[in-house]
Amino acid sequence: GYYTDRWKKMLIPKSSPTKAYFDTSDQDPFCMYNYLLDITTWNKSIKRGFIKVKITDYAGNTVESEMNSEASTFQQYKRVKMLTGFYRELDKISKISLTFSTKTLIGPKHKLRILQMRMKSLNNPER
């Protein structure tokens, strides 16, 4: 990352325009670790809801993602890509778990059947 008082010198070359965004958190060290979550579902009916991701390392440390404020739409055999962020980075991930929620208190609970899932670190693309 870059200290906010020095980002222009580091990111903006003099000859070309550059877009920059800062993803910060309210917890020390004030940064987010972002992952791209790519899900293909198997449900026959369309489901709308939210995905919360929990990752665990081999030592048993666990971090949970921040839930996106917009619901995603899941259709059979359609890929859905979403950005998910964590307050901490774990080195060697041993387990990934997902929780699907519609955020409704009344009505039936729905399951989201995952056909394929891929998670890629945006901070460390080689992971």
Q: What is the CATH number of the domain that holds 105?
A: 2.60.60.20
Whether residue 24 is contained in a domain is answered as no
CB 15 within 8 A of CB 99: no
Whether residue 74 is contained in a domain is answered as yes
Whether residue 85 is contained in a domain is answered as yes
Structural domain for 101, as ranges:
29-121
Give the mean pLDDT of 16-38: 71
* Per-residue model confidence (pLDDT) at position 117: 92
Q: How far apart are CA 51 and CA 117, in angstroms?
A: 12
* Per-residue model confidence (pLDDT) at position 125: 79
Which pLDDT tens digit goes with each residue over 76-116? 999 999 888 888 888 889 999 998 888 776 766 778 899 99
Q: How far apart are CA 43 and CA 111, in angstroms?
A: 8
Whether residue 107 is contained in a domain is answered as yes
The residue ranges of DSSP E strands in the chain, in sequence order, are: 33-41, 47-57, 62-64, 72-74, 79-86, 93-101, 114-121
Segment (H or E) for 3: none
Q: What is the DSSP letter of 69?
A: S
Q: What is the tally of structural domains in the chain?
A: 1
Whether residue 20 is contained in a domain is answered as no
Question: What angle (nearest 5°) sits at the alpha carbon of residue 62, between those of residues 108 and 77?
Answer: 45
Whether residue 73 is contained in a domain is answered as yes
pTM: 0.69
Whether residue 23 is contained in a domain is answered as no
> Among the residues of the chain, which ranges form H helices?
7-11
Count of alpha carbons within 13 angstroms of residue 89, beta-carbon side: 14
Whether residue 58 is contained in a domain is answered as yes
Q: Indicate left, alpha or beta for 81 from its phi (over 0: left) and psi (-120 to 50: alpha).
A: beta
